[in-house]
Structure 1
Amino acid sequence: MVDVRYDIAFKLYPYQKGADQDLAPRRHPVVIVGGGPVGMALALDLGRKGTPVVVLDDHEGVGQGSRAICFAKRTLEICDRLGAGKAMIDKGVQWNVGKVFHGDERVFEFNLQPEDGHRAPAFINLQQPYFEKYLVDEIRVAQSDGAPIEIRGRNAVTGVTPQGDHVVLDINTPDGPYQLEADWLVACDGARSPTREMLGLSFEGRVFEDNFLIADVKMKADFPTERWFWFEPPFKDSGASALLHKQPDDIWRIDFQLGWDIDRAKELKPENIRARVDAMLGEGAEYELEWTSIYTFQCRRMEKFRHGRVLFAGDSAHQVSPFGARGANSGVQDADNLAWKLDLVIKGLAPDRLLDSYSQERVHGADENILNSTRATDFLTPKTEMSKIFRNAVLSLAHRHPFARPLVNSGRLSVPCVYDGLSLNGPDALNGPATNRVGATCSDAPLRDGFLLDVVGGVFTVLAINTDPPALAEVGGITVNTVTLNTQTDDPSGAIAARYLGDAPCGIYLIRPDQHVAARWAHASAADIRSAVGIATGKGQ
């Protein structure tokens, strides 16, 4: 069962025959295959930077069903920089609190964002079709402002042929096949990536022997806006675990853990799904089934995400279990990492090897996500009786003793990774808080007018706190913005001082376009900044 309303309401880029289809293959700077959250975020970011991009999608709009629903704070910050964040937050169901149950006993609850002073919530629940729609809406705004972005619906890529300094694409449309060429091709075409298959590239990892049923139901309910997770839930025939989330439009996402040896066709029959939902909600509960599916956990990735002129992002490059909301969130972070690097390389402002750092950093992020997803899955689905005894002992202890609660793993929720020790990192010469160390994403904080992340990101930024920055508008043609703050006048909550200085009286941060810290110092000269920009753009010292 699928929710066809999504396709009807969000047919955002209907097929139109283009000029390329009647010409010899034309060359484009960037072609993106796949119009999901990752492809659209990347296209929007590149287009706003002035880099021409063509998106090829085999549909004419967003896909069916809600699929991904949990979008994390970091993803919302990226989308806010791109212009789409507010619409997402306004539509989404915001939540910070989660509760964990064992049987009918509440084990504990947690708050993912206990401190104030952030524009974005820890998470919103928002059906993926809405998330994609708001990105496309912002692309339309960008196009009206002159951004060189083109979306081609019902353009299915059937062949990919690398040719040294470009890639040739074979494309099928309702008006027949045609070819085009791309200086750079980015595959954002999902876990079953046809691009990856056509290039014969491997996708290695682990498939877990378990199945989970998703049921999106439409109902009126007064449950609080929280994430509820049950180990060994008390409602009959519900499986080994269950999860309940609220979405917009009175839609609730329910997950049931079914086990490995199941009859999928039988489990997907509406009457059997209703039996499980009725057991959870109680006999007589009024609801409609909106969308259902069965999925299997997989934790896999490609060995590297760059293959010459072809780059992979999102599920085409890596795949993790849904518990923890690491799939779409990590994919949008891929796009955030790649966009500024590809833009600088295309404009001749950075060497080609900068794109190797995309693979290095995002493989690092994928490995962290896979590690956390694997641990969560092993905790959810103990493989031996002794493992189950240990798991249940942890749950019993966690109910009474806080020390045991970090051991409970119902899906460690998505946070951005820190690029500790990687090649683009400059010096960390400030005895400041570890939260904003070199390689980390910048923490948001309130200013007198707005928030810190409003004024850093998109371009390289020098953030000077309680000190005068060196006068520097560009480095080797690369724009460098400068933001100067005084904690006495610009830091009403004290969050800037706490999150960026700690015990240090002053500091200077160099922040990358993707809002990762590239370097930091107590004091810095123009030469220090130039050197750190050189490192961060793949030029070395």
Structure 2
Amino acid sequence: MVAVRYETAFKLYPYEKVPEQQSQPVRHPVVIVGGGPVGLALALDLGQKGTPALVLDDHDGAGLGSKAICFAKRTLDIAHRLGASADMVDKGVVWNVGKVFHGDGNLFEFNLLPENGHRHPAFINLQQPYFERFLVERINAAKAEGCDIEIRGRNLVTDVVQHDDHVVVSVDTPDGPYTLEADWLVACDGARSPVRDMMGLDFAGRVFEDNFLIADVKMKADFPTERWFWFEPPFKDSGQSALLHKQPDDIWRIDFQLGWDIDREKEMNPERIRARVDAMLSSQTGTVPDYELFWTSIYTFQCRRMEKFRHNRIFFAGDSAHQVSPFGARGANSGVQDAENLAWKLDLVLKGAAPESLLDTYSTERGFGADENILNSSRATDFMTPKSEISKIFRNAVLDLARDHAFARPMVNSGRLSVPCVYDGFPNFAKDGLQAPDVSRPGAPCPDAPVENGFLLDHLSRGFVLLSLGDVAVGDLDTPVHHLHIADPSPELRARYLGDQAQAVYLIRPDQHVVGRWSGFDAAEIQAAMQIALGKA
């Protein structure tokens, strides 16, 4: 990626010297390398569960520029569990509707959350620096409440060495180097992961022969808060596709597809960028409003992943483990799901409540999620940029049909937008014991729904939860689990969890994925499901 130099948007964790720099190496339960959305979410999740977390970041805060901007409902649900979503939604631009254009014609529009009964929208647009700032503010509040979370800015990790029961981490600072130790280390240090390079690990996949220009434009404009995507846009020098998103603070994100054989230095010339932006704006409004180029960058599509996300005592999460194109908003959103998946497993293993083998399920489950995202991202890229004349004829035929025929619209791929991963058929989930809606089947993340005193997900954040619905009697279990009973489910809760059934019992993991569900209470079945969820079976 070619981009402007790093500048700090928010100085969130300025460098401070710590006593550890002049002492023998100190052992930490979990050390996280990287203070982006994934590393911060992981640290906050661990700290609130009672497991100390130390974050090392080579800068002192969030960088300038939008980077990730689309945060999905599942990410907001996770952030809400961590206590950070309210500020994000208040600041963000809420949207559920997208429009797809071909040339100067409007093909169709779609609504990503047409049903009621959810706390959060399908998406908000929020610049990544704000997302990081709100996580850090919540971390500071959690520390005041007694959580053991520390972020060290301008602490550059220069080497990692694994031993049987710990990792030795070498760190450089403005006051010189020092060494610390970690029971477990998590690399959340981005697509160019220095930790991955230090370990000599592969990052395999496809690099697509295309370049895209990002322009963050600050202006007053009357465009609606929708996702607009053009195939073969009508404005001059716009390439094969373009994308327009509104962000907070009167910032508009514009993407132009430039092609493969380009002069990057020439394309990054502000006057050339302004000519493209002028052409887009004048084609939509007839005039060019005053605007400022706030941030610009050129990127290529890359769909890559590591073979394994766990290497003994070192884990990889987010872009350090997998990388996809930004169309579909699958990068940061899947990374936050990585953090949630890993946090509860590390916490239980460190507390001796689960065997170390449970940590292997992080790699298998989130590797599956990465494969799903890479498949969707690759398909979107191939549709947006046909690789042969026949492919282009097919693509354009689909676009022509989609204008008037609804059956063709699901075949139009302008980036399948991020949805949560469902772990169908994975060994740490029980067989489905209830004929109920697929949306709440074993392996799926719990869909939200209104309950008498708020929303369901508010009550599913206490470790493992046994949820009973309707007139069902629940007995005692040998395994500690929080019991939530809802005798009279709301219509939305009934539609998502019961369907035609009168009653049900659900076992739910700490990351709010359904372990198993049954038509009634069976202590032996539920305890067996708990054992397999903990990796003990």
TM-score, length-normalised on structure 2? 0.97
Is 1:497 equivalent to 2:494 in the alignment? yes
Q: Distance in 2 between matches of 1:6 and 1:404?
A: 45
**Aligned residue in 2 for 1:277:** 277
Q: Classify the secondary structure of the residue corresponding to 2:352.
A: coil
Is 1:524 equivalent to 2:521 in the alignment? yes
1:427 is displaced (CA, Å) by 2.7
CA contact 1:71–1:125 (8 Å) conserved in 2? yes
Q: Distance in 2 between matches of 1:190 and 1:451?
A: 34
CA contact 1:159–1:170 (8 Å) conserved in 2? yes
Kindly provide the amino acid, as one letter, of the partner of residue 8 in structure 2. Answer: D
Change (3 A) 1:39 1:253: same
Q: Distance in 1 between matches of 2:380 and 2:6?
A: 34
1:329 is displaced (CA, Å) by 0.1
Q: Classify the secondary structure of the residue corresponding to 1:51.
A: coil
Greater shift, 464-473 or 126-135, is seen at 464-473
**Aligned residue in 2 for 1:402:** 406
Q: Distance in 1 between matches of 2:524 and 2:470?
A: 20
CA contact 1:2–1:64 (8 Å) conserved in 2? no
Question: For residues 277-327 of structure 1, what are the alpha-carbon distances to aligned partners after superposition, in whole Å with 9 as ceiling and x for unaligned?
Answer: 000001532110000000000000000100000001000000000000000
**Aligned residue in 1 for 2:248:** 248
Kindly provide the amino acid, as one letter, of the partner of residue 24 in structure 2. Answer: A
**Aligned residue in 2 for 1:268:** 268
Q: What aligned pairs does 1:126-141 form with structure 2 within 5 A after superposition?
A: 126-141=126-141
Q: Distance in 1 between matches of 2:254 and 2:476?
A: 53
Match of 1:333 among 330, 337, 353: 337
Question: For residues 162-181 of structure 1, what are the alpha-carbon distances to aligned partners after superposition, in whole Å with 9 as ceiling and x for unaligned?
Answer: 01111001100000001001
Q: Distance in 1 between matches of 2:41 and 2:475?
A: 33
**How many percent of aligned residue pairs carry the same amino acid?**
69
Kindly provide the amino acid, as one letter, of the partner of residue 382 in structure 1. Answer: P
**Aligned residue in 2 for 1:425:** 429
RMSD over equivalenced CA pairs, Å: 1.3
1:456 is displaced (CA, Å) by 1.0
Is 1:78 equivalent to 2:78 in the alignment? yes
Change (3 A) 1:311 1:458: farther
Q: Distance in 1 between matches of 2:523 and 2:463?
A: 17
1:3 is displaced (CA, Å) by 8.3
Q: Distance in 2 between matches of 1:423 and 1:333?
A: 19
Change (3 A) 1:3 1:205: closer
Question: For residues 318-363 of structure 1, what are the alpha-carbon distances to aligned partners after superposition, in whole Å with 9 as ceiling and x for unaligned?
Answer: 0000000000000000001000000000000000000000001000
Q: Distance in 2 between matches of 1:473 and 1:269?
A: 66
1:272 is displaced (CA, Å) by 0.2
Q: Classify the secondary structure of the residue corresponding to 2:526.
A: helix
Q: What aligned pairs does 1:345-384 form with structure 2 within 5 A after superposition?
A: 345-384=349-388
**Aligned residue in 1 for 2:158:** 158
Q: What aligned pairs does 1:26-425 form with structure 2 within 5 A after superposition?
A: 26-282=26-282, 283-425=287-429
CA contact 1:2–1:290 (8 Å) conserved in 2? no
Change (3 A) 1:5 1:59: closer
**Aligned residue in 2 for 1:467:** 471
**Structure 2, unaligned runs of 5 or more:** none
Q: Distance in 1 between matches of 2:371 and 2:471?
A: 38
Q: Distance in 1 between matches of 2:173 and 2:471?
A: 58
Change (3 A) 1:31 1:375: same
CA contact 2:399–2:412 (8 Å) conserved in 1? yes
CA contact 1:98–1:228 (8 Å) conserved in 2? yes
1:527 is displaced (CA, Å) by 2.3
1:385 is displaced (CA, Å) by 1.2
**Aligned residue in 2 for 1:507:** 504
Q: Distance in 2 between matches of 1:467 and 1:148?
A: 42
Aligned length: 532
Question: For residues 234-272 of structure 1, what are the alpha-carbon distances to aligned partners after superposition, in whole Å with 9 as ceiling and x for unaligned?
Answer: 001111100000000000000000000000000000000
